[in-house]
Amino acid sequence: MKLLIVLGAVLLALNQLVVAKTHNVICYYDTSSIMRIGAANFTSKDLEISLQLCTHVVYGYAAIRRSTYEIVPGDKLQLPLFQQVNALKKRYPNVKFLLSMGGNADKRNPHKYMELLESNRDQKRGFINSVLGFLRNYQFDGLDLAYQMPEEKPILDESLLKRVFSAAKEKVSSNLDKNKVPTKVVSVAERRMQFTQLIGDLKQAMRGSNLLLSLTVLPNVNSSLYFNVPVIMGNLDFVTLATFDYSTPQRTPKQADYLAPLQALPPNKLRNPQANVDAQIRYWLGQGASSAQLNMGIAGHGRTWQFKKLLKSDKMPIRSSLDGPAAADANVRKTGIMAWPDVCTKVKQMTKYEDKISGNYAYNAPQVKGSTGLLITYENVASIAEKATYVKSHKLGGMALFDLSLDDVHGVCSGEKFPLLKTIRNKLI
């Protein structure tokens, strides 16, 4: 009898181990967080705490040198962090360490990503060789292509007068541009073919070194324009869809909508019916992607708008009184974005609407004349848990947090460290 109990316990443990390996918990690590000060500084110690919860950690972001198309550090301050990878791999042998390139963090000459696709064979070979050398030098397990493709334009609420003015302005600009050297026009089919070829060449070069190759589809990129899904999936170990930031104050300063709705929202002239998690996942599955290769991206940040007049309506989409990105906070120090601990703390004192399917938002109206109101869209534990249920029911590969440094690293809000990451881990594994 005792033997049966022991065998049962062993089988249960083995079963739990198998389950633990069925879902990815991918942790994006924005290495620029090392430059933040005070409580917002994300240290190597913080990283090690999170590594106990991750199956993959993706270091962001490397860049491309335009003159040679070689992969290079995005900033020299990244190098000490890259140099720690080999030691971390020894301490956390079950975690895969990848280097990510692009990520909308490479702001210098962003069109070079399209130029690389159009470059000649020798230039592409130079890029691939530089990737292999970089990965080998810092002992990364693979490369993540967070390739910087052009974003879809948002749907804007413009009056007839504004549209007439915009059309006139565009005509004037067109006349001014006639003397410029015309740029090469590349068809959608040709662009897809170029990117497909680059992925194939990269994977072929990596096979001898047993390196991983993944793709991150950045927010608001139209997958149908750039990715030949059934072909590229054969050369990718996995794909992460950054299914969030459908509405941001940078894209639509005067209007706001949910950050990352799980399902399609009620029809509205300001809404793209494809701007939701389910639509993006279904597109890739419909194109022949294996569900086990797809990972759902989760935002660890909130998006923030400011406004100085009372909102005419506080129902989404909000299109009155908004006045662009809110001021940068003391932590992230970027306009229009807020880390989770600040979101969690602030919304406690705000009027809030929370729904695990549509998403969450909260606002404070201006209190006195001349003051500024604040609107925040965000994820919370409940909405992330609902997305984890979706991942499991659709047999997806896993989930990815963007990024570690934006979670409540120090337990500021509730006393629990990494609550968003832990929610992902606990719900999937």
- Domains recognised in the chain with CATH numbers: 20-300+380-428 (3.20.20.80)
Question: Has residue 181 got a pLDDT over 70?
Answer: no
Mean pLDDT of the 58-86 span:
96
The pLDDT value given to residue 360: 99
Query: 57, 15 in Cβ contact below 8 A?
Result: no
Q: Pick the more confident residue, 1 or 190.
A: 190
pLDDT in tens, 283-324: 999 999 999 999 999 999 999 999 999 999 999 999 999 999
Query: Residue 32 and residue 23: Cα distance in Å, rounded?
Result: 28
| Spatial separation of the C-alpha atoms in residues 88 and 404, rounded to whole Å | 16
Within 8 A by CB and 6+ apart from 403, the residues are 27, 28, 29, 30, 33, 60, 300
Confidence at residue 20, expressed as pLDDT on a 0 to 100 scale: 42
What pLDDT is stored for residue 5 in this prediction?
39
Lowest mean pLDDT, pick from 43-57, 152-166, 172-186, 322-336:
172-186
Burial class of residue 355 in the structure, from the number of CB atoms within 10 Å of its CB (0-12 exposed, 13-18 middle, 19+ buried):
middle
Note the pLDDT of residue 35. 85
213 Cβ neighbours under 8 A, 6+ residues apart: 142, 143, 145, 199, 202, 203, 206, 235, 236, 237
Percent of the chain whose pLDDT exceeds 70: 89
Read off the pLDDT band of 38 (50, 70, 90). confident
- Whether the ω angle into residue 138 lies within 30 degrees of 0, i.e. cis, is no
Paired strand residues for 30: 60
- Mean pLDDT, the chain, as a whole number? 90
